[in-house]
């Protein structure tokens, strides 16, 4: 298994980059936002990868953050969602927005993604909602003073920027008497949406 790849961008194609690593070029399929970002890269890049194995091909999929990779793996675990559809989904919606839509059971947001019809929208919610909620519940703070930091970390792992996650968590925590990490994350997701 190849968990990440670091190197120079040798070439940017349509939906993929070739990363030169010690004289060998690795083709890595990436999301549209990642491709835009990587085209402007002036130094070495690091992509977190998933190696998809089929009987006729080995395909690398690369992501800018571990959170994007985790969401990709969640998506491909859903019935009838393969790696190309998952990559297409992540090209059109931020990871955090996707997680929020699934947790809040917002079929409309999911149906607006090209390639996701009503059946796939329902399937995404049905198969991933509990897993997303479970992931939020597994964030156990060391003490109550760490609730905000844990909520921010969870939001960052869902693809939000550190600054916007911190601002959202601080804003929503002001209105809560005894916040839990899960409550902070849910409220912050609503604010960030």
Residue 3 tokens, joined:
């968990």
77 three-state secondary structure: coil
DSSP 5: E
Question: What is the CB-side half-sphere exposure of residue 121 using CA atoms within 13 A?
Answer: 16
Q: What percent of the chain has pLDDT over 90?
A: 58
Question: What number is the average pLDDT over the span 165-178?
Answer: 86
Position with higher pLDDT, 62 vs 180:
62
| pTM exceeds cut of 0.75 | no
- Cβ proximity of 4 and 46 under 8 Å: yes
pLDDT one-digit tens code per residue, 4-23? 999 999 999 999 999 999 99
What confidence tier does 138 reach under pLDDT thresholds 50, 70, 90?
Answer: low
Residue with tokens 């992509």: 47
Give the Cβ contact number of residue 159 at 10 Å.
Answer: 22
26 pLDDT exceeds 50?
Answer: yes
Question: Quick one: fold of 66-137?
Answer: DNA polymerase; domain 1 (1.10.150)
Residues of the chain with CATH 1.10.8: 144-192
- Cβ proximity of 94 and 159 under 8 Å: yes
Residues of the chain with CATH 2.40.50.140: 4-63
Distance between CA 77 and CA 128 in Å, rounded? 9
95 pLDDT exceeds 90?
Answer: no
User: What pLDDT score was predicted for residue 181?
Assistant: 84
Least confident among 16-20, 77-81, 142-146, 183-187: 142-146
145 pLDDT exceeds 80?
Answer: no
CATH of domain 4-63: 2.40.50.140
User: What pLDDT score was predicted for residue 146?
Assistant: 61
Question: Quick one: fold of 144-192?
Answer: Helicase, Ruva Protein; domain 3 (1.10.8)
Please choose, from the candidates 115, 101, 116, 108, the residue with its C-alpha nearest in 3D space to the C-alpha of residue 186.
Answer: 101
């Amino acid at each position: 298994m190849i968990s990440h790849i670091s190197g120079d961008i040798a070439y940017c194609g349509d939906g993929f980059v070739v990363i030169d690593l010690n004289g060998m070029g690795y083709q890595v399929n990436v999301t549209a936002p990642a491709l835009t970002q990587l085209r402007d890269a002036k130094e070495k890049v690091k992509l977190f990868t998933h190696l998809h194995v089929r009987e006729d091909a080995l395909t690398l999929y690369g992501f800018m953050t571990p959170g994007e990779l985790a969401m990709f793996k969640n998506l491909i675990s859903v019935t009838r969602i393969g790696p190309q559809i998952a990559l297409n989904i992540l090209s059109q919606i931020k990871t955090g927005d996707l997680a929020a839509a699934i947790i809040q059971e917002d079929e409309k947001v999911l149906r607006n993604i090209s390639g996701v019809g009503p059946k796939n929208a329902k399937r995404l919610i049905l198969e991933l909602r509990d897993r997303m909620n479970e992931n939020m519940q597994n964030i156990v703070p060391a003490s109550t003073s760490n609730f905000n930091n844990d909520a921010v970390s969870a939001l960052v792992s869902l693809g939000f920027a550190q600054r916007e996650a911190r601002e959202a968590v601080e804003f929503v925590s002001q209105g809560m008497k005894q916040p839990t990490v899960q409550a902070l994350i849910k409220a912050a997701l609503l604010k960030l949406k």
